[in-house]
Amino acid sequence: MCARPFAPPPCNATAILGRGFGCWQNAQPQGAIKQKKNHANLRHSLTAKAGIFTVEMRVQGRVVLFCLLFFDSACRAEAQQSGVQKAISEFENYLNMAGSRTAADFQPLTRRERTDLYLRSLTNTWGFAKAAMSAGLDQWRDKPQEWGQGWGPYGQRAANIEGQYLVQKTVSYLISAPLHEDNRYFGSGKHGIWPRTRYALASSMLARHDNGELRISASQLGGVAAGAFVARLWLPGSQNTASDAAVSFGITMGTNVAFSVVKEFLPDLLQRAARKKPGKNPIPND
C-alpha cells in the first residue's frame, strides 16, 4: 500500500494568536507582573480609604449636629436674662477670665475662691463642647491612626483631650496655690487697639501675685507641660515620643497667646450685645 501523504493541520488563526499571546505572557519579566499586582493593590487601598473617608464624614456630621444643638440651646437660654448671665459666666470661667474687671480692680484670690474656680473648670460645659469638636477633627484626620474609626475610637479621642485638660488644670492648680499665682486674665484698662493687643500678648504667659506684680507663670507652664507629656503614657506609638509632647506643648501655648487677645476685647463685645434687649426696639427721637 502507498503511504498516505502528510497533511498539515488546518490553519486556525485564533488558536495561533492565542498560543502566541500565552507565550508572550510567559515571556513577560517578573517586574511587569509585580507592577500589575501593585496596581491592583493600589486600587484596593484607594477603595478602602474611600470607605474610611465616608465613615469620617458621617462622624463629622454627627459632631457638627451636636455642636449646632448645643449652640441652639445656648441661644434659647439667651431669651432669659438669668440664662445669659449664666452662659457668660461659664464662658469666662472656660477662658479663665476675671470677667470685665481690669488690672486696677485686682484682688488676691482666697483659697476657697481658687478651689471653686478649679472645680468649675473641670465641669465647664464649654470645655466639654470643645473636647467634642476637637475629637471630631482628630477623627477626620485619623489621628492617631492606631485608634481607627467608629464611635469607640471617637470616645478614645475625646477622653484623650479631656484627660490632657484634667492633668493640665490639676497641676496648674497645685502649683499656683503655694506660689500665690493668679492666672486669671484681667483687662488692660487701656484705650486703642494696639496698646491693648500689646498688653494681651505680653501677659499671656504671666501670672499676678498677691501684690499685683506680674511674673512668668510657673503654674501655667508646668500645667501645660504636664498635660502634654503625661498624655504620652496612654497615646499609641505614633504619638508617644518626647518630640510629640513638645509639639503639643507649643500648640497649647500658642493658642493661649492668641486667646489672650480674645479675652482683652471680649468684654466689649458682650457689653454691646447686652445693650440690645430682645423684644425692645429703640424709641426714635422726635
pLDDT in tens, 240-274: 899 999 999 999 999 999 999 999 998 888 777 66
Using only C-alpha atoms, what is the Rg of the chain? 32
Q: What's residue 186's pLDDT?
A: 93
Residue 136 and residue 57 in contact, taking contact as beta carbons nearer than 8 Å: no
Q: What's residue 29's pLDDT?
A: 55
Q: How many CB atoms lie within 10 A of CB 192?
A: 9
| Three-class SS state of 169 | helix
Confidence of residue 117 (pLDDT cuts 50, 70, 90): very high
Q: Which residue has the higher pLDDT, 47 or 215?
A: 215
Q: What's residue 52's pLDDT?
A: 46
Confidence of residue 43 (pLDDT cuts 50, 70, 90): low
Q: Which residue has the higher pLDDT, 21 or 107?
A: 107
Sign of the torsion angle spanned by Cα atoms 84, 85, 89, 92 = positive
Mean pLDDT to the nearest integer, 229-248: 92
Question: Which has the closest alpha carbon to 165: 230, 237, 247?
Answer: 230
pLDDT digits (tens, 9 = 90+) for 201-227: 998 999 999 998 999 999 999 999 999
All residues at 6 or more sequence positions from 162 whose CB lies less than 8 Å from its CB, including other chains: 127, 128, 131
Mean pLDDT to the nearest integer, 228-250: 92
Assess whether pLDDT exceeds 60 at residue 128.
yes
Place of cell 478649679: 118
Q: What's residue 24's pLDDT?
A: 44
The percentage of residues in the chain with a pLDDT greater than 90, rounded to a whole number, is: 49
Q: Which residue has the higher pLDDT, 8 or 252?
A: 252
Beta bridge partners of 187: 102
Residue type at position 82: S
DSSP letters for 135-189? HHHHHHTTSSGGG-SSHHHHHHHHHHHHHHHHHHHHHHHHHHHHHT-B--EEE--
Cell numbers that stand for 162 in this block: 479631656
Cell numbers that stand for 11 in this block: 490553519
Q: What's residue 92's pLDDT?
A: 84
Residue 87 and residue 78 in contact, taking contact as beta carbons nearer than 8 Å: yes
| Three-class SS state of 222 | helix
Q: What are phi and psi of 184, to 5 degrees?
A: -65, 150
Residue type at position 34: K
Confidence of residue 165 (pLDDT cuts 50, 70, 90): very high
Q: What's residue 53's pLDDT?
A: 47
Mean pLDDT to the nearest integer, 48-75: 53
Q: Is 118 exposed, middle or buried (0-12, 13-18, 19+ CB in 10 A)?
A: middle
Alpha-carbon distance 3 to 260, whole Å?
109
Q: What's residue 21's pLDDT?
A: 45
Assess whether pLDDT exceeds 80 at residue 97.
yes
